[in-house]
């Protein structure tokens, strides 16, 4: 069985490669109280407690980090280090339930945004395709009659219109290829985080 990968503040880069090779990701974070998972305390950068997990709600950082690096992971464990006086019986299960609920809601919000963006993308694709066809026809028309005029500026205009038509088509095509692929990967990894397991230890 592959060993889990532990990630703590300050050691994110050195484990990036091994994370993609193992089936379990273990994210380790240190907090002062469990509520910091969902609501950040006012911590100044002058404090040693100021980290990527305390500058904002810790789950925001954890979710983005795991989505970027989850790869083919089949299990995700979040190890939360808390002071001993913040730990009580059943806190693992309580935080696991809370974190999964938070992740589910965030995924639903992202899905709504993606759906709205998809509708805009479809309209842009139709607009881009129409603009491409119109500009291509204009380019052919100008080039055809430009031959009779034997005029270099007219030919340059025809080439410019043709290039513009391809530029108009580029962004909608990118939305339906690269961006759609990225969104699909992000959604799949975000769904994996909904099964995250929280383990609480003392520091």
DSSP string, 139-172: HHHHHHHHHHHT-HHHHHHHHHHHHHHHHHHHHH
**Residue 111: inside a domain, yes or no?**
no
Q: Are 91 and 45 contained in the same domain?
A: yes
Strands 5-7 and 24-30: parallel
Q: Are 127 and 100 contained in the same domain?
A: no
Q: Are 167 and 197 contained in the same domain?
A: no
The H helix count followed by the E strand count for the chain is 5, 4
Structural domain that includes position 140: 116-188
- Residue 79: pLDDT band (50, 70, 90) is very high
pLDDT of the residue at 15: 38
Higher local confidence (pLDDT), 16 or 201: 201
Q: How many CB atoms lie within 10 A of CB 148?
A: 8
Give the global pTM.
0.63
For residues 66 and 123, the answer to whether their CB atoms sit within 8 Å is no
pLDDT of the residue at 111: 78
pLDDT of the residue at 148: 58
Q: Are 183 and 198 contained in the same domain?
A: no
Among the residue ranges 84-88, 95-99, 138-142, 143-147, the one predicted with the least confidence is 143-147
Average pLDDT estimate for 99-105: 92
CB contact set of 48 (below 8 Å; sequence gap of 6+): none
127-145: b or e for each residue (b if 16 or more CB lie within 10 Å)? ebeebbeebbebbeebbee
pLDDT of the residue at 147: 61
- Residue 149: pLDDT band (50, 70, 90) is low
For residues 27 and 81, the answer to whether their CB atoms sit within 8 Å is no
Q: Are 98 and 198 contained in the same domain?
A: yes
Q: How many CB atoms lie within 10 A of CB 107?
A: 17
- Residue 19: pLDDT band (50, 70, 90) is very low
Structure tokens at 127: 């607009």
For residues 124 and 132, the answer to whether their CB atoms sit within 8 Å is no
């Amino acid at each position: 069985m592959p060993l889990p990968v532990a990630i703590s503040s300050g050691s994110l880069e050195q484990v990036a490669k091994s994370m993609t090779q193992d089936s379990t990701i273990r994210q380790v974070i240190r907090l002062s109280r469990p509520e910091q998972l969902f609501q950040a305390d006012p911590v100044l950068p002058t404090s040693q407690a100021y980290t990527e997990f305390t500058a904002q709600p810790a789950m925001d950082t954890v979710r983005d980090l795991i989505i970027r690096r989850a790869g083919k992971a089949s299990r995700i464990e979040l190890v939360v280090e808390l002071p001993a006086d913040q730990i009580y019986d059943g806190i693992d299960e309580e935080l696991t339930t809370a974190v999964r609920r938070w992740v589910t809601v965030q995924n639903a919000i992202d899905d709504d945004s993606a759906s709205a963006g998809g509708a805009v993308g479809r309209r842009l694709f139709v607009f881009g395709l129409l603009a491409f066809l119109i500009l291509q026809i204009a380019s052919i028309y100008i080039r055809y009659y430009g031959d009779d005029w034997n005029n270099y500026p007219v030919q340059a205009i025809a080439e410019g219109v043709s290039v513009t038509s391809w530029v108009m088509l580029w962004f909608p095509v990118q939305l339906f290829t690269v961006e759609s692929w990225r969104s699909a990967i992000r959604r799949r990894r975000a769904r994996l985080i909904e099964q995250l397991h929280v383990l609480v230890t003392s520091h």
